[in-house]
Amino acid sequence: MSADDPYGSPSGGALGWAWRQLAIWGGLTLLVYAVVGNRTWFEPARPVEPPVAHQVPVSHSNPVPTNTLAYRADQRGHVRLEAAVNGAPTRFLVDTGASFVALSPGDAAAAGLGRSSLSFSASVSTANGVARAAPVRLREVRIGQFVLSDVQAMVIENLGVSLLGQSFLQRLDGYEMHDGVLTITWN
């Protein structure tokens, strides 16, 4: 065996060379798969469409008009919307599976809920595991022309995006997701 022979080298021979090639090509294949599968990470952010707000009359038996707001889901089916918490602009991800409105520490601070005033006395299960949470009451949550007062919420440590959960949604007259559009209604 010569020193120039890659198959007869003392560092593993043909089998060692084959395993290295398999590891290299397998790793490259996994990398390509991950990039293609998550290509939306690399797309530029699209401008958010403003919500469509209008009044729709209900049946003649109920003369009270119903107000609606509609929000289109993104490519991944997530609905994101702009709101105001205690007057501070806040970007929410609508999460019908969340029991409460959940604020990130940054959004809580912007809404006047400083970290020193919070008591992280609860723990909650999140998609990233268990996290510490501080129960709070929000003076006001405003979406378009709809305003709710005294909303139960949690400030959750290490939360990346604020969530609009059931402590807000269940106080609406209704909400539904149809053909990629979330419509909320109230009187």
The whole-number average pLDDT for the span 59-88 is 84
Residue 40 has pLDDT above 60, yes or no: no
pLDDT value, residue 156: 95
User: Which two tokens mark 106?
Assistant: 């940054």
The whole-number average pLDDT for the span 57-84 is 80
pTM surpassing 0.75?
Answer: no
pLDDT value, residue 68: 93
Residue with tokens 């996290």: 131
User: Could you tell me which residues come within 8 angstroms of residue 99 by beta carbon, excluding any fewer than 6 positions away?
Assistant: 165, 166, 167
Per the model's pLDDT, the better-predicted residue between 99 and 5 turns out to be 99
Residue with tokens 């959004």: 107
| Angstrom distance (rounded) from CA 77 to CA 179 | 10
| Angstrom distance (rounded) from CA 121 to CA 139 | 20
Q: What would the CATH number be for the domain defined by 52-186?
A: 2.40.70.10
What digits encode the pLDDT tens for the residues 74-127?
999 999 999 999 999 999 999 999 999 999 999 999 999 998 999 999 999 877
H or E, element range at 108: helix 105-110
pLDDT value, residue 71: 94
By three-state DSSP, how is residue 52 classified? strand
What digits encode the pLDDT tens for the residues 120-153?
999 998 777 899 999 999 999 999 999 999 999 9
Q: How many other C-beta atoms can be found within 10 angstroms of the C-beta atom of residue 129? A: 8
